[in-house]
Structures are given as structure tokens and as C-alpha cells.
Structure 1
Amino acid sequence: MSILLAGCTHETTDQQPALKQEKAGFNKDAALTEVNTLLATADRQTGRLAGARQAVRFTREQNVFFPSALAVNFQSTPKTVTLPLYKGIGPSGNPTYYIITEAANFYVAKLLGVNFAPKLIFGRDTEGAQDVTLEGGMIRFEGDVDFSPVREVKAGPDPNTFPPAVAKPGAVGDAQYSPLLVLPSGSVINAPIVANSTGVHDHLVSIDYDRGTVVFELLDGFQGGAQFYFHLVTESSDVGAATIERGTYTPRLAQLPAFGQSYPTDESALLGFSPVSNGETGFNSPNRQGLNSTILDGNLADPINIFPLDPENNKQFNNNYSPMWDAHLNAWTPQAIAAGKRRRIRSLEELQQLVKEGLVTNFAGNVGAPNGFVAGLKPTNAIINCPVIAQPVAAVVTP
């Protein structure tokens, strides 16, 4: 279901810069050895991963991008995915549990059975990433997450309610924590911590430490005019976004390059997308959409954000996917609201047309230069780590 956005044809005839840069600080053989070590250790601990690396078990209609997903449930409320769980070592030496969702190298991604996200290589050698080591076949983390806080969010003043008046996230990463890991080989992976001695991630449904599996909630969105763009929310660099979307507040992510740069030729680990700040509310409304709805209508009221493209895990070159989504918040104008024009925005093309018509504009907190990739909107300087899992056809999804 990938789309070609108007004005987004910036492709090279060779390799995109991210792949060229990888060669300078990356040892492919060492990276694949690292992966085999991690998988072999997990096999010994759980006996589970060998089966996870078998052929894809999903149908074309389910359209699951994530190769190592163990199961998906598009009929439950909330929708869920079962993923392999890895055991690592926290900074204090205590067990730390994490998932792996993306890799910056094509061959590493294939071996792990995760999404290929070459743009993530630009996070290496920046303060937005976390350098880790291997110890006993496991990753030893420098940073950690506190899952013990009690999440609290209170609506801002009418009529928009967003941004919230109170935003206290349910999980907080320390100054060293980032889910973007740089392994000793120079390989870069997206590996969010989801459980440790302080508790578990707020989107976690269940966890089986012995079998090495975790069930995570899927959030919804729109891409290319179609709904059911199912993804995880694991972290955010912004305290408000982390609280509203129940992610881990991770300030270090804000140091990844570069806000407002979303084209394949940009030296950026980020990819632009557009949350709605002030859409229609009411849990059962067919037009419900927006961060204000999630605040008012409850945890299960996904913001239903607008995304530009699918993961393309078999596309080695000119691949623009990244799970580090650069938020370009949009807002319906007071005139559009008064005229009853608000509806669900289903694609970046539709958003671009609404901006052109003057019905939708930048959220008041947006800063910097307009980004042509995201309808000419400015970035909000907030990153949300949202690994994409699937975009099934409507027939296999129970509302």
C-alpha cells in the first residue's frame, strides 16, 4: 500500500547516503556474528526463536510487514501482536527485557526478522543513540527505564483540550537510555526496553519470560487513504506525547538528527508524519481523530495519526522507512470547525489539499522551516518511536 507523495521523488540512481555512510563504520561480518550470538542465546534461554525464523505465516490480506511476529490478533480489543522477547542486562546487572523492531543494515534485518530501516544509521555517533556491549551472549545496556511512575493526563482548557494541562508519563528513561542501540560492530538496531524490575511498558498486554514472548497493543492510523496502519508506540522524546500515547519518555531521542528532514537524500534518522491536534472527539464518532480525542475519550481512543509510507523490507536501496517518526502536528482552523468541516484525514495528499484550502494549518507549537514531505507543515520537534507491524485489509479487522 505504499504511495508516491507529490513532490517526494527524491531518489538517487545509486545507493542513498545512509547506506554509503554505513560502510565507513560498520563491519558486516561482525554484525551478523552478533545477531547469531543473540539468537543462539535466546534459543538456549527459551527454545523459541528457532521457530520464529521460519517462513512467514501470515496471509496477503493480513499484510504483516514484521517477519518475526509470532501472532497477530485483528479481532481483539485492543488489537495485538505477539513478538519475540529478548533478555538483556541492565546497568545494575539486573535482567532487562527488550524487543527488536528494526535494523539499519539490510542483512541484519533479514537475519533478525525485523523491519529494515536504513535511515537509522544516521543516529550512530550522535547523543540520540546508546552504545551497548555484549556480555554472555546478551546485550548490556548503559541506560535504563523506570516503569514505576503512575501515568496521569488531564485535559487542557476547552475547546481543544490539547496540549494537556497535566502530563506525567507512566515510564521514564534515564539520561543514558535510548532504544536506538549501537552494537560493537557499528550495527544499529531499534531495541526498546519493555520490562525490568520496576515494571512493564504501559502498552504491554502480557509477558512470558520463560517462553520469551510478549503481547503488545497495536495502535491504529491512516496511510495512503487506508486505515488499520497498525504500529507500536514504545518511546517519545516529548513528555506530552509520551504521556498521551503511553510511551516511555525518552529525552535522549530528541538528539537524533534531524527534525523536518524526511526525504531519502536527507541525512536524517527521522521520517515525518502528521498527528491531528484538534480533531472530532467522541469514542463512537466515525470522524473521531486526534490527540485531543485520546485525552478525552480514553486510552483505547487511538489518535489515528497520518503516516506517509509502509515498511519495504525487501527494498535494499532508496528505502525511506524509519520508525523514528518526526511529528508535524496539524490543526483544524477555527473557521473549519465552525463550518463543520472536520473529518478524518486519511492520507498526506488529503492533508496537503486541506492545507491548500486553508482548512488545516500548523499547530501553534510547530517550529522551524516548512517540510514539503509533510504538506508543508513545520515540525513540532517531538519524536515518537512507532515501529510498524501491519496494514491489513478491512475484511480481516473486527471494528
Structure 2
Amino acid sequence: MKSHWISGQDGSFRRVGSTDMTSAIAANVFPPWTCRSLGKANTMRKSQLAGRARSRLITLAVAASVTMTGGLLTASQATAGSASAGASAGGDAGLGQLDGQLPRDHLTLESALQVDLSRETVRLPLYKGKAHGKTAWFVLLDASDSGLAADLGINYAPKLANLAIGCHSCVQTVKLESPTPQQNRFGQAVVDFQDAPDFSPTRMAVPGPTGFPLTSFQPGAVGGPHYSPFIKIAGSEVVYSAPIVATGDGMFDVDHHTNTADRVLGVHIAPPAPPGKYYESWVDMLFIKGFDAGQPIIYLSTDAGQPLTAVLERATYAPALDRAAYNGGDDFLGSARERLFGFINGQTGRNNPQAQGFGHLATDGLIGRDASAHDILLIQALRNGGDLLNVFGDFPTLTDARHSKAYSPLWDAQLGLWTPKAVEQGLNTRQIDENQVFNLAASRPDLLTGVDPATGKPAPYGSVGVNINCAVIGFTAKAPTANLAQPLPDSQFPPR
């Protein structure tokens, strides 16, 4: 019988069989919001998890105490600060362009070779590295230096310079090989990494009776003790987001991901180029939809600092990121993070234009299936909005430099819990703008609260200890330029 690890209220772990785990939860021996399945316990390094507080693992089974109901906000219910404010203020709660190629002037990640909206993929240049003597393949997404970001066609993210504050392991120091002219006439030198993810575990995500919380789960990729997707080259202080997305020299598994990241849908390794030419390797990766400043955007999730977050995001679990500077930091001194806004119990329904959040992903986004280009049902579900549809904070195209330059790919999640009143009245509608979200949290606690990840109960709004490495790719309608609302007095917006 397959065994699982589940955690007790004191943070301890106990191995149980599949049937025993169900009965233990039913008997309330272990609260349902602390349930987590590790499956291959050796690959998950039990000791890495047992030392972490449950709040940092963020096994948010908060939906266990929330009734998820549908319903649309009517015009008569549209009050100031309500979920309908985005549409009335010129926002676009739709998903933008859904078919064909994304125009290149819609990209923030200019190095992207193409974005295929019909197949939900972004094609990125793929670069060669080594870890422990084996080949590792990585992508470049962000840099802390504006000139080098422009040179490489990646996002400029100044906050990455703060990543090592209080967490040296958050930035992996790598070495760049020095090839002879005969070894490299033209192209990038091989990068020697200290560590790489283990892609061999089987990802598992089993939705619960109401979708979320999950009944059981297991990350499909786990970073080693010295792995971080954020690197700096020995001799330089510039920090890059360079997640490893595949390992090995061929036969890449893009259906079940035994040697690739869970979002890899295709890999092309270029053959040697003839004299005077350059052939590029590339990888196709499943992107994610979201919103920023009232506009639909797309981004790529590659890593997360908590196991459940990694499962939901189809990302690599990188334990070091849990300590990155710092929870609740946003735009304050020393922060490497930027805020994103998610919702536990938004509306559900594949054809519901108000659907959003954890319950929606679990019930409508086919969260339990492996990502594969051959899985047409999964691709269509995500293409039509089956993602979490998170709301992002600062974004590279915002007009105010204070906000465009505050972009970071490391997102500090602020998770909202709609109250029973909001759910019953159908006010738990799709949110699309940062300011509108924290205005709502500040002015309408009768509708939206934060969540205590250890209990699943309402809590003060703000950071919950979840962080995700998500590089933005571009926008599918209009460029986000300004928020749809001004911050309310005393809302969670740092005064300047």
C-alpha cells in the first residue's frame, strides 16, 4: 500500500497508508488544513520539511471552512470598492487575445522567441550548464542590472540585488567556463551550477470534495540544498533569474516530466552550427494567465519556496526561497519581493467570467493532470481561464517609474478569504487590480479578509509566507500603465 506523510498540529510527521490518512483526517486527528502528502519521502527530504512551520508550508485548506458558491455581481450590488469596480473604471476582466501568436510589441520578455496563445506556450532560448558533472539546461528571465537586462532581452528587476540579504543560499554563485576559440566560435559559455533540481518525483495533486483543499499532493521537482534559480556569476554582483528546467543530454520527458520541469512542453537542442552560423536551442513552457492594473497578462512560474505552492504552480520546490527577503516587504527597504494577490474561495465554473482563485484552479483547471502538449483538454481549460488568475502588483510597463522599477519576479502572496456574506451574495467576483484589492481589504472587512494558513480562519490581510518565482512575459490586450483606483487612506500602500 502506498504511504504518505501527514503532519500533526505540533509540526511532527507521521507515515500512514492511503486509507489510514483518510480516516485520520475524518477523525480530526490531523486537521484537514495541515494534510500534505510527500509520497517519495526520500526525494522530498523529510528533514527539510519537518523543520519548517506549517504556516510556511502554506497547506491552505481554508476552503474546508468556506462554502464555495457561485453567483454574479449585479449592477445594483456594485458598490464602491466592490469586485465590479474594475470594469467600471476601464479595466478588462476578460483574458485578452486567446489565439495565434502574441504580437512582439506585447512582450516584456523580449528574448521570448514566440508566444503561442492557442497552445498556451512561450518559447524561450535554452542555455547549457552543468551541475554535479551532469548537463543542466536553463532559461534566463530577469536581471538586477538594467543594461545587462536590455542586452539579454530579459526583464529588469532591481530588487533582485536584495535577494542575498539574510539568505546567502537564496542566490547561487555559479562559475562561467572559459572556452578556447576552437571550443566556442560564437555562443554562451557553459555555466557550472552548484546544484540542480531533482525532476524525478511524480507530481501529485488530488482535489478534495470542493476542489481545494487538495486531498493529497507532492511536488514534481525538488531543488537540492544548494539550489536556487537566482544566480550570480563569480566575480560579478549582478543577480539573474536563471531557473534550470531540464537535465540530461536527450530523450526529454515532456509528458510526465521525469527529467524536465512540470511546465516544459517541448525541448529542442540545436545541432552544431556550420561556420559563420548560429543555431539556437529552445524550450516551450506552459505559461499562466493573470491580471495587472486592470489588464490581462501572462507570466511563467518556475519555482516556489513551499511544497504546496510548488504543486499548485507546477513549479520546482526550492526550499531556499522561503527565506528570501522578506515576508511583507513589498517596496520597503531591503525587500527582494513584490506583492501578488490571490483568492482562496473565489467563484468557480469553466464558463463563469467571474471565476478566480484556488477553488477555481482545483475544480476547473485540471490541476491533477500532468502538463503535456498532447493533453488538449488541459490546454483548453487553461486557455479559457482555468489558472489561478492572480492579480500582480508592480509591472514593467507601468508609467510611474516608482512602480515599473519595483517589479520583481519573486512574488510575496497576499491571499484573500471572501467572507460568508460575500459568497452568499455573489460578491466574491474576479479581481483585476492591485489597488482595488487592498482598498477592498481595508474598507470592506465584511467582504474580504486575510487568512491564517495554520487554521484556515480569517486573519488580518497581508503576507502569508508564500513566495513564487514568476517572471512576467507580456500582456494580451492593452499594456498595464496605471492602477484603476487610488489607494485609500491607511490602506496597505506605503506612503511616500
2:138 partner letter = Y
Which deviations, in whole Å up to 9, do the C-alpha atoms of 1:14-50 show, x marking residues without a partner? xxxxxxxxxxxxxxxxxxxxxxxxxxxxxxxxxxxxx
- Aligned partners of 1:164 and 1:240 also within 8 Å: no
What corresponds to 2:335 in structure 1? Answer: 268
1:320 lines up with 2:406 in the alignment? yes
Alignment map for 1:1-399 (pairs within 5 Å): 59=103, 62-74=105-117, 76-77=118-119, 79-90=120-131, 92-124=132-164, 126-136=168-178, 137-156=189-208, 158=210, 161-184=211-234, 185-197=236-248, 199-210=259-270, 211-227=280-296, 229-263=297-331, 265-297=332-364, 298-299=366-367, 300=382, 301-312=386-397, 319-355=405-441, 356-357=443-444, 358-365=446-453, 377-393=461-477
- Aligned partners of 1:154 and 1:167 also within 8 Å: yes
Per-residue deviation at 1:364? 2.5
Distance 1:219 1:307 in 2: 12
Over 3 Å counting, the alpha-carbon distance change for 1:98 and 1:316 in structure 2 is: farther
1:193 partner letter = I
Distance 2:147 2:454 in 1: 37
Distance 1:364 1:162 in 2: 16
Could you list the runs of 5+ residues in structure 2 that have no partner in the other structure?
Answer: 1-100, 179-188, 249-257, 271-279, 368-381, 480-496
Which deviations, in whole Å up to 9, do the C-alpha atoms of 1:72-119 show, x marking residues without a partner? 122x14x221111000011x2111000000000111111111100010
Distance 2:389 2:399 in 1: 27
Per-residue deviation at 1:366? 8.1
The alignment partner of 1:278 has SS state of coil
Per-residue deviation at 1:235? 0.6
> What's the TM-score once normalised by structure 2's chain length?
0.62
The alignment partner of 1:89 has SS state of strand
2:391 partner letter = I
- Aligned partners of 2:414 and 2:464 also within 8 Å: yes
Distance 2:295 2:387 in 1: 15
Distance 1:344 1:312 in 2: 22
2:327 partner letter = F
Q: Tell me the percent identity.
A: 33
Query: Is the deviation greater in 352-361 or in 62-71?
Result: 352-361
Which deviations, in whole Å up to 9, do the C-alpha atoms of 1:321-360 show, x marking residues without a partner? 1000001111111111112222111112221343222211
What corresponds to 1:21 in structure 2? Answer: none
- Aligned partners of 1:123 and 1:256 also within 8 Å: yes
1:363 partner letter = V
Over 3 Å counting, the alpha-carbon distance change for 1:175 and 1:363 in structure 2 is: same
- Aligned partners of 1:366 and 1:381 also within 8 Å: no
The alignment partner of 2:352 has SS state of coil
Distance 1:389 1:366 in 2: 33
* Count of equivalent residues: 325
Per-residue deviation at 1:65? 0.7
Per-residue deviation at 1:59? 4.4
- Aligned partners of 2:169 and 2:228 also within 8 Å: no
- Aligned partners of 2:142 and 2:156 also within 8 Å: yes
Over 3 Å counting, the alpha-carbon distance change for 1:334 and 1:317 in structure 2 is: closer
1:306 partner letter = V
> What's the TM-score once normalised by structure 1's chain length?
0.76
Per-residue deviation at 1:163? 3.6
- Aligned partners of 2:452 and 2:464 also within 8 Å: no
Which deviations, in whole Å up to 9, do the C-alpha atoms of 1:241-272 show, x marking residues without a partner? 11011001111111210110111x42111111
Distance 1:244 1:380 in 2: 16
Over 3 Å counting, the alpha-carbon distance change for 1:59 and 1:162 in structure 2 is: closer
Per-residue deviation at 1:145? 0.7
Q: Name segments (4+ residues, structure 1) moved above 4 Å.
A: 57-60, 312-318
Query: Is the deviation greater in 186-195 or in 358-367?
Result: 358-367
What corresponds to 1:10 in structure 2? Answer: none
